[in-house]
Chains A and B, each alone.
Chain A
């Protein structure tokens, strides 16, 4: 085997390795997509987090069922504790603030970020009002204890 052939084989092998690395890399990249209401409902059904990035007052007046409220200016404090592999749908009134939120989430490494096109202005589905989407039971047995009072802290490592 002459030297030229060996050199070409080496170049071909490197090219294959680079191509595979690029393919793997593209699979792990974030996906950001603008979606319509119907797709939001599908994602909601499959367990995606629905995040309302408007103000608490706007949220209390009416929001999409199961949504949590994290105003866009507080997202950077709260989101680092979330699972980056879980799909997240963001929305606001017109999709201006949610676009900003989606940009941040992608830059923060979230893999599946969806933005409701047009925001609630374009939403024709049902809205619920109030601070919490569902009233959590709080009476006896609401939290499993070992027979002693319990202190729970939800924290972040960052």
Chain B
């Protein structure tokens, strides 16, 4: 998924912040994973500017169109 996410990161630069937490050990990532009961990777979460979670997370593999649709829906 790395090339896909990297491409989206460039395409949405300035509009959407991207955070990628790889493996455990990052306190912020671990805390978020615990908060939202992340059980599988990859898992994608979408958060509006006000910090509210947008829709359900996507768990497992996905495609560019799906991710773009979710990113475009963020407020």
Q: How many residues of A contact B (CB 8 A)?
A: 33
Contact A152 B23 (CB under 8 A): no
Contact A68 B42 (CB under 8 A): no
A48–B25 Cα gap in the complex (Å)?
A: 15
The residues of B with any CB-CB pair to A shorter than 8 Å are 1-2, 5, 8, 12, 15-25, 29, 32-33, 35-54, 71, 74-75
Shortest beta-carbon distance from B16 to chain A in Å: 5
Contact code string A137-158 (vs B, CB < 8 Å = 1, else 0): 0111111111111111111110
Smallest CB gap from A153: residue in B: B20
Interface residue from B21, B40, B41, B51 paired with A145 (Cβ < 8 Å)? B51
Provided the pairs A143-B32, A155-B20 are in contact, do residues A148 and B39 lie with their beta carbons within 8 angstroms? no
A141–B29 Cα gap in the complex (Å)?
A: 16
Q: What are 21 A-B pairs at a CB distance below 8 A?
A: A69-B39, A77-B40, A133-B37, A136-B35, A138-B53, A139-B52, A140-B50, A141-B50, A147-B49, A148-B15, A149-B46, A149-B75, A150-B16, A150-B46, A150-B49, A151-B18, A153-B18, A153-B19, A153-B21, A153-B45, A154-B44
Given the complex, which residues of B lie within 8 Å of A81, measured CB to CB? 23-24, 41
Q: Is the interface of A mostly helix, strand, loop or mixed?
A: loop
Shortest beta-carbon distance from B14 to chain A in Å: 8
Given the complex, which residues of B lie within 8 Å of A78, measured CB to CB? 39-41
How many A-B pairs fall under 8 Å by CB?
Answer: 129
Contact A138 B19 (CB under 8 A): no
The residue in A145, A154, A157 that gathers the most chain B C-beta atoms within 10 A of its C-beta is A154
Smallest CB gap from A150: residue in B: B47
